[in-house]
Amino acid sequence: SLTKRRSATATFLPFHNELSINSLLEIVKLLIEQQVFKLCGTNYPTSICFIVVNEFCERFSYYGMKAVLTLYFLTYLHWDKDLSTAVYHAFSSLCYFTPILGALIADSWLGKFKTIVYLSIVYVIGHVVKSVGAIPTVGNPDVHIALSMVGLILIAFGTGGIKPCVAAFGGDQFDEENVSERQKFFSIFYMSINAGSLLSTVITPILRGDVQCFGGDCYALAFGVPAALMVVALVVFIAGSSLYKRNPPQGNILLEVCNCIGFAIKNRWQRRRYEPQRKHWLDWAEEKYSKRLIQEIKMVLRVLVLYIPLPMFWALFDQQVREDERLMNHYLWFRHMLNALMILLFVPIFDLIIYPLVGLCRINITYAEVSCSLESKECSNVNLGLLDFGGSYTEFGKVGARKMEDVKANNVHIAWQIPQYVLITTGEVMFSITGLEFSYSQAPANMKSVLQAGWLLTVAFGNVIVLIVAEGAGLEQWKEFLLFAGLLLGVFIIFSIMAYFYTYVDPDELDKIYAGDAGKEEDDHDDTKKKTKDIQLNKTGKSTRL
């Protein structure tokens, strides 16, 4: 193998006494194609490091912004709860409907790499506009609303457009024989999503509440930090450009697919009375379209049909964050868990390392003594008694002080939520990672982003179901939970039956079976019957944990 690479590389050398930049680039390109750049001697290409880091930063950017979005609507734009909830879910839904647009641009026109770069720029612009809209000194409330909406729309097109492309682009970096490594990559990829989500959900609310700017909560900073992380994501992704394996776009595949389906339906309707029935309704397009395209469309439609019942999973999953109260409780849960871990870690670090070092600089870190003053009308050192966990209190102090309970304290310990969150997280991991890998493995090479977008559309329709039920049914919270849980139980049974009858396919086999198939094939009838059989490849190692 090394001799082969040396001889291949040497073909560039006789043309130049000294290596030019172009020659070096060609050599690097050849080495990438030969898969010389591997990660620590494994079958993982080095390029996936840039993709994973990019995804971590992008998810930090997205979820960091969303963590304070509802509070921004309520306390900064002064919208009511219903409007805030509606806009929040409309934005979330748009983020999962736009992937189909990004997928079509990637597979049909620009390719995945350029699509990710260009839409990331749109993404960054959206964050900047959103951050500027959160600066109180910029314009009036109408300007703030306008900038916020424009920013959110740009963010939705940016995050949605790159979402299916990044996952598919990561899968493209692996060779055909490295299926197990590719499956593990999607697990790592999903871990990076959740790592970025967890950290940002903790950090950005702290920036909003604990940092004061313009005389109040600092939403500009809370939105500005995610914007900076998106810039980092873009820079990291571009930095790995010389290492990526890129598959060129295949033309306007969506138009071709739609025309093929339309022709098959029309041809079947016109000729079904005087011609024998064909094995599949798409086979009626054989007179005009290639057998390879027909087979690829069959593969995609099989998977999309399988996805029809899946939005109900996300409808139940999103019950955690349907309203702003639940969203904040969900955030506080993660914050308390992470806060406990950070306290265990940071207390000895601060006591043994940081505080002694600060003391050496003659900076005194002590608890400030407070007292009551008639002149300043401020009061401290006030004993309000034991404040119950889960309650929110306001302290009024002049010379005396009293407390007013804003939110009633919890009478059920938050630890009782741990088993539920363990089960929910287990289900999410099994469902989401498998769905990403399944969507990639079952898609033809020219439709991988499209099928990734199809998977993401299940999230979008799940949000739509939540909005319809929440706004239309008007049920109590526990009844909604029970309703969605019951519906998902039914979906589980239906999907199990559908999955049982699903036949796995290997898209890579199309290259072998339909090699050189450009346009309509002119095979005889026997060859046609042989080649148009569905590809059934239930090989071990090629399957997904459906």
28-53 residue pLDDT tens:
555 555 544 566 667 789 999 999 99
Instruction: Give the residues across from 38 on adjacent strands.
Output: 45
Phi, psi of 256 (to 5 degrees): -65, -40
- In this predicted structure, what is the pLDDT of residue 326? 47
In the chain, which residues have pLDDT < 50? 1-18, 35-36, 323-333, 335-344, 346-347, 365-367, 369-372, 374, 386-400, 518-545
Those residues with Cβ within 8 angstroms of residue 306's Cβ, 6 or more apart along the chain or in another chain: 495, 498, 499, 502
Q: Which residue has 């025309």 as its token pair?
A: 259
Distance CA 114, CA 249 (A): 11
- In this predicted structure, what is the pLDDT of residue 218? 83
Pair of tokens at residue 245: 């394996």
pLDDT digits (tens, 9 = 90+) for 316-326: 887 765 544 44
Pair of tokens at residue 398: 């002049």
Q: Is the dihedral of CA 458, 459, 460, 465 positive or negative?
A: positive
Q: Are 435 and 455 in contact (CB under 8 A)?
A: yes
- In this predicted structure, what is the pLDDT of residue 70? 87
> Which three-class secondary structure state does DSSP give residue 407?
strand
- In this predicted structure, what is the pLDDT of residue 369? 45
Helical ranges in 394-476 per DSSP H: 418-441, 448-473
Q: Are 213 and 106 in contact (CB under 8 A)?
A: no
Those residues with Cβ within 8 angstroms of residue 364's Cβ, 6 or more apart along the chain or in another chain: none
Q: Are 197 and 67 in contact (CB under 8 A)?
A: no
Distance CA 233, CA 124 (A): 10
> Which three-class secondary structure state does DSSP give residue 402?
strand
Pairing mode, if any, of strands 212-213 and 216-217? Answer: antiparallel
The pLDDT mean for the chain works out to 76
Distance CA 237, CA 232 (A): 9
Which H or E run includes 393?
A: strand 392-397
Distance CA 74, CA 69 (A): 9
Distance CA 305, CA 503 (A): 13
Q: Are 433 and 187 in contact (CB under 8 A)?
A: yes
Q: Are 434 and 313 in contact (CB under 8 A)?
A: no
Q: Which residue has 């082969």 as its token pair?
A: 4
Distance CA 224, CA 203 (A): 12
Instruction: Give the residues across from 401 on adjacent strands.
Output: 397
Instruction: Give the residues across from 402 on adjacent strands.
Output: 396
Pairing mode, if any, of strands 401-407 and 212-213? Answer: unpaired
Question: What percent of the chain is modeled with pLDDT above 70?
Answer: 69
Distance CA 435, CA 425 (A): 15
pLDDT digits (tens, 9 = 90+) for 107-136: 888 899 999 999 999 999 999 999 999 998
Residues for the chain: how many in total? 546
> Which three-class secondary structure state does DSSP give residue 216?
strand
DSSP labels for 112-149?
HHHHHHHHHHHHHHHHHHHHHHT-TTSS-HHHHHHHHH
Distance CA 163, CA 156 (A): 10
Residue 208 backbone zone (phi > 0: left; psi -120 to 50: alpha; other: beta): alpha
Those residues with Cβ within 8 angstroms of residue 33's Cβ, 6 or more apart along the chain or in another chain: 245
Distance CA 432, CA 186 (A): 10
Among the listed residues 168, 438, 164, the one whose alpha carbon sits nearest the alpha carbon of residue 310: 438
pLDDT digits (tens, 9 = 90+) for 255-270: 888 889 999 999 989 8
Q: Which residue has 């600089």 as its token pair?
A: 361
